[in-house]
Each structure stands twice: as C-alpha cells, then as structure tokens.
Structure 1
Amino acid sequence: MGPAPVKVIGGGLAGPEAAWQLARQGVAVELWEMRPRVFTPAHQTSALGELVCSNSLKSEAPNSAPWLLKQELRRGDSLLLACAAQAAVPGGQALTVDRVQFSAAIEAALTALPQVSIRREEATALPSDITIIASGPLTSAPLARVLAELAGHEHLYFYDAISPIVEADSLDYERMYPGSRWGKGGDDFWNCPLDRAQYEQFRQAILEADSYPLHAFEETGFFEACLPLEELARRGPETLRFGPMKPVGLPDPRTGRPPYAAVQLRRENLRADSFNLVGFQNHLRFGAQAQILRLIPGLERARIVRFGQVHRNSYLAAPAVLTERLQFRRNPRVWAAGQLCGTEGYVEAIATGWLAGRFAAAEAQGRTLAPPPRTTALGSLLHYITASSAHGYAPANMTFDLLPPLETPVRDREQRHQRQCARALTDCDAWLQPQREAVPA
C-alpha cells in the first residue's frame, strides 16, 4: 500500500488547481467537495470551479499586473488557466469564460487523471494526512470551527473591510501634510484637511451615491468596528467627523490648528509607493467611489489601485497563522489556499491553489521547495499574504505595488511596468525550470 493521498478540501478554484498540481507531480489526491450534498447560499450547481460572481478572469493586456500573474501560472502548467482558454468567450481585453464550459473542462481534466479521486462529502474534521484547505469565502460552519481551533479564533474573520488604496505619485502633496495623530509614530501618514463646506459636500456625495446591492447571504448586520462609509454618513451629519475623518490630534502645520475634518492616508507596509485611506471601507459602486474620493483635497487626480469593499468573506489573518509556504504554523501538514488565505479575485485564488499544490507535493515526496522569487507576481502575492502586518490584514489582489521596485528607477509608468514584467517572467522561468525537469514522465 502506498502513502495516503493528499486531501484537498474545496472544489472551487484553488482546490482543483492544487489537486492538478499534486497529481502532475505524481502524488495521489483526494479532492473533497460538499456540493451537491451541502450547498452554500451563493452556489447554484455542484460543478467544480463554479464562478459565483463575474465570469471574467481580468485583463489580458500585455504588461498589466493581472496579465503577469496569469502568464506565470501558464508557464507553471496551470489547469484552470488552460480550461479558461478552452472556455473563452469574447470579452474585450479581459479573459472572459463560458461558466458551464469552464467547469466542465476542469472536471473532465481531473477525472481523467488516475491519481485524482473526487469525494462528494462535507469535511467536518481535519484529516491526519497532508491536507490543503481551500474551502472558500463561504466555508461551512463545521469546517469554520475546525479552522478557528487551528488558527485561533482571533485570526479567523467572517467579513472583510477593505479600504481604498491610491498611488503615491498621483497625489497633490501641496494640499496635504504629514504626521501621525498626536505625533505618535512616524511620518507614514499624510493628512488631507477639509473645511466645513468641503466636509458637508463630501458627506452629501456619499449619501447620494449608489451602492452595490448585498447578496442575500451578506444581508447580516455589519460589525461596528468595520462599518462602511455610507452607513456612517447615514447615521448623522457628525458621525464621519467623529469616526474615520476625526481631526483631533492632527494640527495642520500651516494654521497650527486641527482642520474641521481630515482624511488620513497610511503608507502600505509592503506596497511600494501607495497609500491606504484609513477607515474608508465602503460598499459604493466603483464609479461613484472614484468621484467621491477625488473630492478629497490632494486626491483630485488620484489613481486608485484598489477600491474599498465590505462583504461576507471567511478568511484568515494569514501573516499570523501561515508560514512562507502557506502551511499553518500550528500544524505544518496543513496548507491554506484560495480566498481563505487572504486573496481577492479568481486568478489570485487559483495562484494560491497552485502554490499550495506545489508545496504540498514537495512535502509528500520528501523534498523542500523554496518559495518563488519576490520579484515574480507569484512571489510577491505570497509575500503579501505571509509577511504583511497581521494587524488589520485585508485581502489583496495582484497589483504592481506588490512587486519590489526596479533596481534602477524608471519614471515612465508604462516602461516601468514593462521592465517589472520582463524581470518577473525571467525569474519565474529560472525558478520553474528545476521543477519541470523533476515532473514524472
């Protein structure tokens, strides 16, 4: 009898990708999916790889960040990217797929592999074998309890509250001033002062803006600690000014007094040249959100890297609980993958499934696989997940500000991104080559 198969829990995007990577490395896999026995509030079918929301896997524009991540995965024999190509439908510059064909291609590829067995059953306990948990943002209650024990209750979240991020070189610093509240901490903060008229205009714009409708499974009261901006605006004319736009302790050096209201921008720890708008999580439509954010002094021409969001999402405070190879610190025979480990977006979920599958395969075969280089999209996404500050950790998608800067700065944005992509793909190929040579015939 050979070694026990690696267990992969979750048949969304990360789980099937992890199962494929394990099998392609010659490792037996048991893929668990609870549908159709147990459905989530969002899923409509029992198909593997069901796309619950959009059918777009983001941009295919060369030298864009989403393109780069997909290119690295393609070079690494990603099953789901291959299935997306088979199921592609016209979608402009985006990789858009036929949902039914996409899922069918995934299931056909996995069932054709003798190393893979698919088990239609809910996982309610942790297997003793090597395991990858890729149960997704709507993880079932029994498995969530297992995760809470494994990660610590304080490190498992059920909603994410994501504030917008803007590019630093798109801001007008003449209208802003540096400084942390009460002068405590460094100058990682910049402050945007608003007078009374600007504040009232800003609040009114929020009240009049359209929000994304909540899905039925998200219609639960928000945690008071992460109320969306529009909910605070509705609670009264002063609520924002006593909340995320509180000016106390932030004197404007030009006047010596605190402004009527202030928006704080905090430099991101691992994102080069970008700022997070502190406490500005919201559920506004992206178009309206962009217009409203540009009402803030200093942000009139801001380029938005990530829009604010609040939604139902089971995920881990990954930097506190996972190693650099996505293993749980408390049990290194268990990996996390997909949105559960703190990513945002379909391709990012696929990428972490790809990584977990590669790392778990190495473990099963008694090998050690180094993480991908930091200069790659895979390496930078992994670095964000596992090396960010655990305090206030929020899921991220792949953007250029996750990548380290070039050794020689390039001012032109397009050229800079082109060179970052070229460097990433060269380094990714070098990292992948020994793995290609080790794949069983």
Structure 2
Amino acid sequence: MADVTVIGGGLAGSEAAWQAAEADCSVELWEMRPEKPTPAHHTEGLAELVCSNSLGNLSLTTASGLLKEELRRLGSMILRCADRTRVPAGGALGLAREDFSAAVTEAIESHPNITLVRKEMQEIPSGPTVIATGPLTSDALAHHIAELSGETLYFYDAASPIIFRESVDEERVYLASRYDKGEAAYLNCPMNEEEYYAFVEELTNAELAPIKDFEEDMYFEGCMPVEVIAGRGPETLRFGPMKPVGLPDPRTGEEPYAVVQLRQDDAEGQLYNLVGFQTRLKWPEQRRVFRTIPGMENAEFARMGVMHRNTYLPSNRMLTETMRVRSGDSGGPPLYFAGQLTGVEGYTESSAMGLIAGVNAARAARGEEEVRLPEETMIGALSRYITVKDGTLQPINSNWGLVPTAPKKENGRRLSKPERRERQSEMALAELDRFVSESSAVAAEEAVS
C-alpha cells in the first residue's frame, strides 16, 4: 500500500501527488480517464485545461501574479510545467494546452515515487488520502463525499469556443495587447456601434443548451456565460470581455466601439480561444452567432463552448487550513481535499490547494506535524478564507482583499495603486521566504537529531 493516495489527475491532484512524492513518500495517483470519460475532458492527459488556457496575469501588481510567484518559490511542479509551455499572451501566462498536459503527465509518470493508476476510485481509502476529483467527481465517490460533508454545494461553469486561426479573416482583425503590455499577442476583432448592438441582439436571443439536472441559475461571477452578461444590459459586454480600452486599431489610430479578443491556445499558433466567451449556447447557435463577429465570418471551430456543473464543499465547516477534514483532528483517517472541491476558483488557486494538501498528506504519513502557510501570503490567506469564512461559502479567486494592505503613503508621497500592490507582493514574498527558511532550518535540525 502506498504511503499517500491521491484521487484525481487534474492540476490539483497532480501537484499534490508530486509534493508528496518529493517528500520521499510512495504515492498512488488515481485517474479514471480514459477508462471512464467525463463530459468536459477531451483527452486522457493529466492536468487537462478544460476551460481557458490562461493561468492569469503574471505581474506582481496583480493577486494572480503574486500567487504564481509564491507557488514557484514553493517548488510547484504545475508552475514549472506552465512556464515551460508558455505561449504569447501579453502579460498573462497563456499555455499551449496539449503541451502543458503532456509535460505534467511526463513529470508524474517519470517520478520514481509515483504510480499512476488508470482506474476509477469508488471509495475513500483508509490511509493518508488527497481527494482532488474536481467538479466532475464520479457518482460513486461523490456519494461518499456527500455523506462525509453532510451537504454539497454547486455552481455552473463554462468554457469558451476554440477556433482555427487560418479561418480568421486577417484583413479584418489586428494583433495587439491592451495598452501594449507585453508582446502583441491577441487577435482583435473590432466592432463599430451598429455591429456591436446587432451582435448583442443575436446573442441574447440565441437558443441555450439545457443543463442536466438543472435547478437554478447559479454561476460563478469569474466565469459567467457571455450571453448572461449580455442579458444584464446592452452595454455590459463593452465594459466586460468586449472592452476596447487600450486597444486602438492601428489602421485608424482609434479605439473601436467594442472588440472581441482571441488568445493563442497552442504552441504552433494554429488554435485561438475567444477570451471571456464562456457560453451555454447550443452548438449550431454558437456557429451562427459568433460568425457575425467581424473577421470570424468563416470561422472553423476546433471546440465548441460547453457548460457543466461544478461541485464544491462547505470547506468553512469541514476543512482546516491544511486542507484536512476536521474529523481527522480527533483521530480519524488523515483525509485531505484539494482543487475546486475546496471552494477556490481558477487553475492556479486549485494547484495551490493541491500543494498544501500534498505536503500535509506526506507529513501525516510520516507522523509529522502539519504545516500552515502564513496568512500574510496569498496562498495562506486563500486557504484560511475558505476554511473559516462565516455563512455560505462562494467560490473565490485570489484577490488583494485577502492579504494585509500596504500604506497609502511612503516618505510623504502618496503611492499609486500599482505601487501599493507591489508593496503587498513584497510583504507577502518576504513572509513566505522567512517561512521557508525557518521550515528548512527546523527540518535540518530534526534530521541531525
């Protein structure tokens, strides 16, 4: 029997397995694909990117950028593979979708301490275990989780369509990144006022695909279907995913009335996804409506947009900051959760919870005390928020409201917002470095003794 069992081969599960293996534990990583497929996955690769191919902004003036830098400093395998398979995406960490999955799969399969098991796990093992099965947990395992939690929450998530670049009319689009930040990495489809309102009209009146076991519209704000955004008012898209600010058309020198951005999705630059265009439109309707976008009149779709139900736990009543089920504190089996099941939203956030769970599952297997990351760090603050929040837990991304604020003035000068964000990042990273240094010193002392 392995020292640690990890169930689920997504980003969180792969990170958890890697961290436990790096701690010199034997690990079994269970992934049910391809034996049992899911409605959202298209391959059998580990860490398949189902929704967007972006891990978010890289700048340390953003919460997402800070989270990624913290993961790098903690030795995240997911971030290492992401950096190796990066594609042009301006200031964001865009990934070659298939190359990234292949890199993670290779890392897992080649690790001497990890055994990859391609079967469905239908029950919760008795030893140290990390469950990172995500929103598409199989029915058998979901039943056991529901019994454990006493309640299961959910929201609906969606993915954007992907098109072939060669089908885009190069005469009608232009290459640029907002405010010229980073490389000119986005294809921009400009719209004038008449085109924009005609598109909104078609979008809001298009036929939707039914959701299986539909109960009520419960969407995560960070992944809202584009037609839902449009339904909130005719101007909402212009201030959301179709915002033209900072994207002047080089042919006119002026900003268009609205713009649809396409982001590279593979290393070769043959596939592009529609940024912010998550949707639950029926597939024929997607082809009809999205082909009214200037430059996409003859678009060929490599993948249509889809919607699925995401499940997450009442972590604020169920888990500790180490991602361990609270009943484990009183002598129960050391059971941990990671990824979207914990109530975080986003690839990087899910990976972060996988790192915490993997490290602590390994420590439980060795009979060592669990570790809690400082709440001054973005990872520590995120894990604390989802496990202590009062009331109902809603899925959450990394954000600046989680970590300590920075002074508004420095040496008598008022700091700009980006400068304050930089100070917050500096404080968080300094605290993380201190924590890592002290933890390493303690580990060295224990090894000597």
> TM-score w.r.t. structure 2 length?
0.66
Q: Is the 8 A contact 1:22 1:358 kept in 2?
A: yes
Q: Partner amino acid for 2:155?
A: Y
Matched, 1:128 2:132: no
Map of 1:73-112 to 2, 5 A cutoff?
A: 73-112=71-110
**What is the CA–CA distance in structure 1 between the aligned matches of 2:437 and 2:105, rounded to whole Å?**
28
Match of 2:364 in 1: 363
**What is the CA–CA distance in structure 1 between the aligned matches of 2:23 and 2:402, rounded to whole Å?**
29
Q: Partner amino acid for 1:433?
A: S
Match of 2:375 in 1: 374
Q: Partner amino acid for 2:135?
A: P
**What is the CA–CA distance in structure 2 between the aligned matches of 1:47 and 1:130, rounded to whole Å?**
25
Q: Deviations over 1:340-370 (max 9, x none)?
A: 1111110011110011111112212222233
Q: Partner amino acid for 2:367?
A: G
Match of 1:337 in 2: 338
Q: Is the 8 A contact 2:211 2:308 kept in 1?
A: no
Give how far 1:414 is off. 1.5
Query: Partner of 2:28: helix, strand, or coil?
Result: strand
Match of 2:420 in 1: 416
**What is the CA–CA distance in structure 1 between the aligned matches of 2:320 and 2:417, rounded to whole Å?**
33
Q: Return closer, same or farther for 1:363/1:307 CA change in 2, 3 Å cut-off.
A: farther
Give how far 1:148 is off. 0.4
**What is the CA–CA distance in structure 2 between the aligned matches of 1:134 and 1:92, rounded to whole Å?**
31
Q: Deviations over 1:344-399 (max 9, x none)?
A: 110011110011111112212222233111110111111111111242x1110111
**What is the CA–CA distance in structure 2 between the aligned matches of 1:287 and 1:129, rounded to whole Å?**
45
Give how far 1:223 is off. 2.3
Map of 1:232-251 to 2, 5 A cutoff?
A: none
Matched, 1:44 2:20: no
**What is the CA–CA distance in structure 2 between the aligned matches of 1:315 and 1:66, rounded to whole Å?**
21
Give how far 1:331 is off. 3.9
Q: Is the 8 A contact 1:211 1:284 kept in 2?
A: no
1:314 counterpart (305, 311, 316):
311
Q: Return closer, same or farther for 1:214/1:394 CA change in 2, 3 Å cut-off.
A: farther
Q: Return closer, same or farther for 1:9/1:313 CA change in 2, 3 Å cut-off.
A: same
Match of 2:429 in 1: 425
**What is the CA–CA distance in structure 2 between the aligned matches of 1:219 and 1:323, rounded to whole Å?**
33
Q: Partner amino acid for 2:56?
A: K
Query: Partner of 1:330: helix, strand, or coil?
Result: helix
**What is the CA–CA distance in structure 1 between the aligned matches of 2:203 and 2:361, rounded to whole Å?**
44
**What is the CA–CA distance in structure 1 between the aligned matches of 2:432 and 2:400, rounded to whole Å?**
16
Match of 2:294 in 1: none
Q: Return closer, same or farther for 1:285/1:405 CA change in 2, 3 Å cut-off.
A: farther
Match of 1:245 in 2: none
Match of 1:159 in 2: 155
Matched, 1:147 2:148: no
Q: Return closer, same or farther for 1:353/1:227 CA change in 2, 3 Å cut-off.
A: closer
Query: Partner of 2:153: helix, strand, or coil?
Result: strand
**What is the CA–CA distance in structure 2 between the aligned matches of 1:388 and 1:35, rounded to whole Å?**
34
Q: Is the 8 A contact 2:58 2:91 kept in 1?
A: yes
Query: Partner of 2:309: helix, strand, or coil?
Result: strand
Gaps of 5+ in 1: 162-206, 229-275, 296-305
Give how far 1:62 is off. 3.0
Q: Return closer, same or farther for 1:104/1:435 CA change in 2, 3 Å cut-off.
A: farther
Q: Is the 8 A contact 1:150 1:330 kept in 2?
A: no
Query: Partner of 1:353: helix, strand, or coil?
Result: helix
Q: Partner amino acid for 1:334?
A: L
Q: Is the 8 A contact 1:28 1:115 kept in 2?
A: yes
Q: Partner amino acid for 1:96?
A: G
**What is the CA–CA distance in structure 1 between the aligned matches of 2:366 and 2:113, rounded to whole Å?**
15
Q: Is the 8 A contact 2:72 2:80 kept in 1?
A: yes
Q: Deviations over 1:109-151 (max 9, x none)?
A: 1222211111111010110111000001111111110100111
Q: Partner amino acid for 1:324?
A: E
**What is the CA–CA distance in structure 2 between the aligned matches of 1:313 and 1:66, rounded to whole Å?**
21
Match of 2:177 in 1: none
**What is the CA–CA distance in structure 1 between the aligned matches of 2:38 and 2:207, rounded to whole Å?**
16
**What is the CA–CA distance in structure 1 between the aligned matches of 2:64 and 2:212, rounded to whole Å?**
32
Q: Is the 8 A contact 1:9 1:15 kept in 2?
A: yes
Number of matched pairs = 332
Q: Deviations over 1:21-60 (max 9, x none)?
A: 1111111111000001001101111111111121111111
**What is the CA–CA distance in structure 2 between the aligned matches of 1:292 and 1:99, rounded to whole Å?**
30
Map of 1:194-233 to 2, 5 A cutoff?
A: 210=203, 219-220=211-212, 222-224=214-216, 226=217
Q: Is the 8 A contact 1:160 1:394 kept in 2?
A: no
Map of 1:2-21 to 2, 5 A cutoff?
A: 4-21=2-19
Match of 1:174 in 2: none
Q: Partner amino acid for 1:420?
A: Q
**What is the CA–CA distance in structure 1 between the aligned matches of 2:205 and 2:145, rounded to whole Å?**
30
Give how far 1:212 is off. 12
Query: Partner of 1:118: helix, strand, or coil?
Result: strand
Matched, 1:328 2:325: yes
Match of 2:193 in 1: none
**What is the CA–CA distance in structure 1 between the aligned matches of 2:32 and 2:437, rounded to whole Å?**
36
**What is the CA–CA distance in structure 2 between the aligned matches of 1:354 and 1:15, rounded to whole Å?**
9
Q: Return closer, same or farther for 1:390/1:311 CA change in 2, 3 Å cut-off.
A: farther
Q: Is the 8 A contact 1:320 1:390 kept in 2?
A: no
